[in-house]
């Protein structure tokens, strides 16, 4: 950290503490050359995550919108809101850990469907029907067959 008084790069941190808001760290520093003290603030740089829609538009990632979509598919199912929030949290973490700045909406939908398949198959089919925009009953039946084959393979493995 460059000293604001003499421009030296030689300094040490005397004291560090979180600000009252908790979103930054306040550091008291002392220049090793001129011995003057100064305060710096360290904040996490939040890079906005953009979702690339099917039509090419880019919109800010909205956790609440994702949560509402998953909750809608889980309506009238024995799934606690905590489980839905945890699912959305896992998807959100996976996206943020990937360190990408843009993610395709299709990728998010696939991540949610993978999570829902293990949580509740009815919620999975509901989400898939909206996400995949089934054109007719044939598309819907194909998705059910894939789900049933997966379940049969799991039972055979036991």
User: Is the residue at 1 inside a domain?
Assistant: no
User: Is the residue at 2 inside a domain?
Assistant: no
85 and 26 in one domain? Answer: no
Q: Give the structural domain span for 57.
A: 50-146
75 and 36 in one domain? Answer: no
User: Is the residue at 155 inside a domain?
Assistant: no
Chain mean position to CA 5: 42
54 and 39 in one domain? Answer: no
Global confidence as pTM: 0.63
112 and 78 in one domain? Answer: yes
96 and 57 in one domain? Answer: yes
User: Is the residue at 56 inside a domain?
Assistant: yes
Do 91 and 66 contact (CB within 8 A), yes or no?
yes
* Tens-digit pLDDT profile for residues 77-120: 999 999 999 999 999 999 988 888 999 999 999 999 999 988 99
24 and 85 in one domain? Answer: no
Task: Name residues whose C-beta falls within 8 Å of residue 54's C-beta, 6 or more positions apart in sequence.
Answer: 105, 106
Residue 28 φ then ψ, to 5°: -95, 130
Q: Number of folded domains in the chain?
A: 2
Task: Give the best-scoring range by mean pLDDT among 46-50, 79-83, 137-141.
Answer: 79-83
């Amino acid at each position: 950290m460059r000293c604001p008084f003499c421009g030296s790069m030689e300094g040490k941190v005397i004291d560090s503490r979180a600000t009252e808001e908790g979103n930054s760290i306040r550091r008291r520093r002392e220049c090793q050359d001129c011995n003057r003290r100064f305060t710096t603030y360290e904040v996490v740089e939040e890079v906005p995550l953009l979702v690339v829609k099917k039509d090419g538009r880019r919109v800010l990632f909205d956790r609440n919108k994702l949560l509402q979509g998953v909750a809608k598919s889980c309506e009238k199912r024995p799934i606690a809101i905590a489980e839905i929030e945890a699912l959305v949290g896992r998807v959100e973490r996976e996206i943020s850990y990937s360190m990408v700045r843009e993610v395709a909406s299709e990728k998010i939908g696939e991540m949610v469907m993978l999570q829902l398949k293990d949580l509740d198959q009815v919620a999975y089919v509901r989400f898939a029907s909206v996400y995949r925009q089934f054109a007719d009953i044939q598309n819907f039946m194909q998705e059910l067959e894939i789900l049933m084959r997966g379940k049969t393979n799991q039972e055979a493995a036991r």
